[in-house]
Amino acid sequence: MRPFIIHSFDFKTNEVPPMKRGVAFIRGISMFGSKNYTKEDRSDCLMYIENKNMKIIGMYGNDNVIFEKNDEIQYATVGSKIEQCLAKTFNTDFSVTTRSLKTINHLLYNFEEKL
């Protein structure tokens, strides 16, 4: 069962700051017969890095992690936390790149515009 996470709270405004979504791309998962870990194993591992600043939303495909973060943590920091968590659990190195959904949407929009 996933633990309940209390996100940061602004006592001056009585509001929870908005969370921003991003995608973490894990390089080399299930490619060419290497690093074949189940999605459940990876998902179970990643739930332990959740805290008030970030939350794992889910996984898409074998190597894409959808997450939310607040302004207290950088996208690259989320990637580092995912790398460290996977490395510790599976005893091998991982490479993770993160992007905001805003960046991904801009890339798609600008690419389609040029076709």
At residue 59, what is the residue type?
M
Q: Note whether residue 27 is domain-resident.
A: yes
Q: Note whether residue 13 is domain-resident.
A: no
Buried b (16+ CB within 10 A) or exposed e, 87-107: eebeeeebebebeeeeeeeee
Structural domain including 79 reads 20-114
The whole-number pLDDT of residue 114 equals 66
Q: What is the pTM of this model?
A: 0.78
pLDDT digits (tens, 9 = 90+) for 35-78: 778 788 888 889 889 999 999 999 998 889 999 999 999 999 99
Share of the chain above pLDDT 70, in %: 77
Is-contact 45 84, C-beta < 8 A?
no
Which of 54, 74, 57, 53 shows the shortest CA–CA distance to 65?
A: 57
Q: Return the CATH number at 24.
A: 3.30.70.1280
The whole-number pLDDT of residue 4 equals 44
